[in-house]
Structure 1
Amino acid sequence: MTHSLEELGQALLARAKRAGAEAADVIAVRGTSVSIEVRKGRLEHAERAEGTDLGLRVLIGKRQAIVSVSDTSERTMDDMAMRAVAMAREAPEDPYAGLADPAQLAQGWDLAALELDDPAPEPEPAALQADAVAAEAAAMAVAGVTQVSDAAAAYGAHDVYMAATNGFAGGYRRTSRSTSCVAIAGAGTGMERDYDGDSRTFQSDLRDPAEIGRTAGERAVERLNPRKPRTGTYPVLFDERISSSLIGHLLGASNGAAVARGSSWLIGQLGQQVLPETLSLIEDPFRPRVAGSRPFDGEGLPTQRRAIVENGVLTGWTLDLASARKLGLASTGNAVRGAASLPSPANWNLELTQGSASRADLIRDMGTGLLVTSMIGSTINPNTGDYSRGASGFWVENGEIAYPVNECTVAGNLRDMLLRLVPGNDAKAWHSRVVPSLLIEGLTLAGS
């Protein structure tokens, strides 16, 4: 007999209390995933996974422990509860551990408005294969493409249920559908690769697989015969595909866990300008059909729309309960957790203010510099914000793309870089992180 996630969660909480837990919470996740990969028009790999994971956290005073299993049998859940309580009794005290106060808990959310679950039936493997084949064929049809290293399509559905002894209980279902393609152009040591892909909550929103394959092929061909750029100080335009990584560094530094550890270059910057005054960074967990949307966080607190940066000014940290307690603040409802992990702070959907200039306008205005379309590796000093990353893309001369470049390094200091951002207007509204292309003057390039 298959039990519902609610039945499993409540049964596990009851076991934890009988075993001696003073407080406890549980997360139960039941998921299905299907992925198809093709090569030369034929099936290369097919995988289907189904399973249920349970995670139990118990607290005894200020001591806590977490245990996870993927077996939902009665005996396993009995052992799980007893083991978690035994571990908690031996754990060191954590003065900041604890469940949310009942008054803090989320209530009355509207799941239907979030549209997290595509009501369409799970696609047949043949339909996934057809999408992967279409993407591969479109990439191979691009002149100069010599092979496709990866063409894939996938589907996933996950049900999540959470409950705790403080009275919280809630769950939701989330679906995803994706298509991707990696194309290779050229031959021998002159081969170059690039990709394109799309991932959506609803199948009907997914981009056409032929468009994805064609774009991957065109991007790969454009990268042929790269050169190293000249070493020096130049403007750098971070393409929309990778510009969100810059905002990711800002989010990492404003994460409450990093701030509480004292390892953030934003310490002391609360209420200070960290972006140009024309820019705001808004977190919105209520956007329909977007992967980062959710009605409550991993501790049962309501999520909220908030400005992390407003008119260039840093307004607050991203906090779960533990990091908030360490800093003497209130949680922002940003806890995430998995079956085997304790809650920790993380961000949901984000949107950076867009500018009025197109990507082409920014290329024209930068004169001579680098358009970055991909990045590898990173050296980021969390305390100072010193930044150095390997990059490739295109060299711009007199406001026009001149030739592809690779094997170069972009360096600067994030504190200074972010204050000089000039945004484009090309952000994709369906992404969880809506960030346009970003131009920054005066970065150091190490090339030839």
Structure 2
Amino acid sequence: MSVSTDSSGDDPGKELERLRVMVAEVLDEASRQGATAAEAGLSRDTGLSVSVRLGEVETIEHHRSQGLGLTVYIGQRKGSASTTDLRPEALRETVAAACRIARHAAEDPYAGLPERELLATEFPDLDLYHPWALTPEGAIDLAKTCEDEARAYDAAITNSEGASLHTFQGVRVLGNSLGFLHGYPSSRHSLSCSVIGQHGENMQRDDWWTVARAASDLEAAGDVGRKAAERTVRRLDAHSLTTRQCPVIFAADVASGLISHFVGAIRGGNLYRKSSFLLDALGQKIFPDFIHIHEQPHLLRALGSAPHDSEGVVTRPRDLVADGILQSYVLSTYSARKLGLKTTGNAGGVHNLTVDTGDLDLAGLLKKMDTGLLVTELMGQGVNTVTGDYSRGAAGFWVEGGEIRYPVEEITIAGNLRDIYRRILAVGRDVDLRGNIRTGSILIEEMTIAGD
């Protein structure tokens, strides 16, 4: 192996070619050392992180990282190893380590690379690479602007947890011994702010953040700060509720968690371990008729877009739920084989999972609910994937007559996910695009609220 590890220069095309050559060399070396099959992923990235608090700089960090992950198969024995040292001798030793592990591993009839015909062969440009030529001084100015706007919003803002800006750009190449070899550059930038408000003895904190592939798609720094402060101030003087059953709206930025629990329940690993409340649910009605949940892996600039999954299997738009009925699971090659199925191209997760919306915005959902609870924050991990039982600490606002009346805290919301999903009445069009699950606010017909 004689590949140079020089990473000078910023041309992503040249960097991609260097990494492709390196991955190909590693795969050849694995074959020379006795592997019957192998796959390798190699990445290099750079970034800048800045944080400020109370107008003062707290941290400035430049990031530069690289790493290789390798999996080899000797027959159906599997071994994996990784390294951040990309010198030729270190790569040879990484291959040797993976092969040693494989020789001592137990045979697994489900282990191996994906079927060749499932691998991606076309690679659309998804517009994922938008490097940000931001100096530390420029990053500091943006973070300070963000926090300054938050602190100046209202006299009730008495303290700050600070504002942070992160920018990242990198290149990743994936290859395997079936002839798959592909990589692409990507970028991700974010800005966040968190502040503390006080009214008498009551103190509250809240935050806001923005994230995008391109800096031009971020919310303005001042807007992020003002939203963080606004969210904090409106929570002041919160109190609990008496125990009751009532309608609940999950605000868009927490509603994604409800969908995430659904994804976890149909994930291959939980299914073949028989640790899911949706075991054998394919073809069953899980949601109301109007619910449509689908993947859109090729959206331009989206945070969850990718031409293939982490095994090289092609990604395609597909339905998980149509007319409320479960159409497909979320499977990698290994979990699919364990279940006697085919991979769905979800090694590494889902890609821009989208819940189709109705016509109402959040204000419209509040009026539709009339009286009930708007949840804006969830705490704790009280979700049982095996039974579907759901119980989490929550904070938000009590709603009467379709209008927010006062903030609430120190309550618990509970139910069973099967019932919660069946009782969805509407999905708002206020879609939160800051993650890999894209949904608006979700109105649930009824849940149990435990309080005073």
TM-score using structure 2 length: 0.94
What amino acid is aligned across from residue 135 of structure 2 in structure 1? E
In 2, Cα distance between equivalents of 1:11 and 1:68? 15
Asked if 1:259 corresponds to 2:271, the answer is yes
| 1:225 pairs with 2:229 | no
Could you say what secondary structure the match of 1:412 adopts?
strand
Q: Distance in 2 between matches of 1:268 and 1:156?
A: 41
2:410 counterpart SS class: strand
Confirm or deny that 1:372 pairs with 2:375.
Answer: yes
* Partner deviation per Cα, 1:283-331 (whole Å, 9 max, x = no partner): 0110010111001111111101001001111001111111111111111
1:163 aligns with 2:166: no
Q: CA deviation at 1:77?
A: 1.1
Name the structure 2 match of 1:423. Answer: 427
Pairs aligned (count):
436
Kept in 1: contact 2:210–2:434 (CA 8 A): no
- Which residue in 2 is equivalent to 1:354? 357
| 1:435 maps to 2:435 | no
Question: For the residues of structure 2 that align with 1:34 and 1:378, how far apart are their CA atoms?
Answer: 32
Q: CA RMSD in A?
A: 1.4
Aligned match of 1:400:
403
1:202 is aligned to 214
- Is the contact between residue 151 and residue 182 of structure 1 (CA under 8 Å) also seen in structure 2? yes
Amino acid of the residue matched to residue 371 of structure 1? Answer: L
Amino acid across the alignment from 1:412: G
Distance between the aligned counterparts of 2:405 and 2:42, measured in 1?
53
- Which is further off, 242-251 or 33-42? 33-42
SS of equivalent to 1:299: coil
Alignment partners' CA distance in 2, 1:310 and 1:76? 49
Contact 2:144 2:163 in 1 (8 A): yes
Once the two structures are superposed, residues 252-285 of structure 1 have per-residue CA deviations (whole angstroms, 9 ceiling, x without a partner) of 1111111111111111221111111011001011
2:219 is paired with a residue of what secondary structure?
coil
Q: 1:387 aligns with which of 387, 390, 396?
A: 390
For residues 298 and 107 of structure 1, the distance between their equivalents in structure 2, rounded to whole angstroms, comes to 14
Q: What is the match of residue 342 of structure 1? A: none
Task: Give the TM-score taking structure 1 as reference length.
Answer: 0.95
- Could you give the per-residue CA deviations for residues 363-421 of structure 1, whole angstroms, max 9, x where no partner exists? 12323221100001121221221111110011112322111111110000100111111
Distance 1:334 1:88 in 2: 25
Aligned-pair CA distance for 1:74: 1.7
Distance 2:285 2:315 in 1: 25
The 8 Å contact of residues 364 and 398 in structure 1, kept in 2 or not, is answered as yes
* Corresponding residue of 2:149: 138
Report % sequence identity: 38
Which amino acid letter does the alignment assign opposite residue 368 of structure 2? Answer: D
List per-residue Cα deviations over 1:419-446 (Å, max 9, x = no partner).
1112122113565322011111220000
1:83 maps to which residue?
Answer: 97
Moved more, 425-434 or 400-409: 425-434
Aligned partners of 1:174, 1:244: CA distance in 2, in Å?
Answer: 24
Match of 1:95 among 95, 109, 121: 109
Matched, 1:126 2:137: yes
Letter in 2 for 1:133: K
Does residue 339 of structure 2 align to residue 333 of structure 1? Answer: no
Q: Say if 2:55 is the partner of 1:46.
A: no
Question: Unpaired runs of 5+ in structure 2?
Answer: 7-17
* CA-to-aligned-CA distance 1:185-240 (integer Å, 9 cap, x gap): 01785210000000000111111010000000011011111100121111111111
- In structure 1, what is the equivalent of residue 45 of structure 2? 31
Q: Which residue of 2 aligns with 1:343?
A: none
* Correspondence list, 1:230-249, <5 A: 230-249=242-261
CA contact (8 A) 2:51 2:58 kept: yes
Partner of residue 307 from structure 1, selected from 316, 319, 330:
319
Q: Deviations over 1:66-114 (max 9, x none)?
A: 1001001122112111111111010111111101232222112112xx1
Distance 1:406 1:315 in 2: 38
More divergent stretch after superposition (10-19 vs 358-367): 358-367
Q: Determine the structure 2 residue equivalent to 1:445.
A: 449
Partner of 1:211: 223
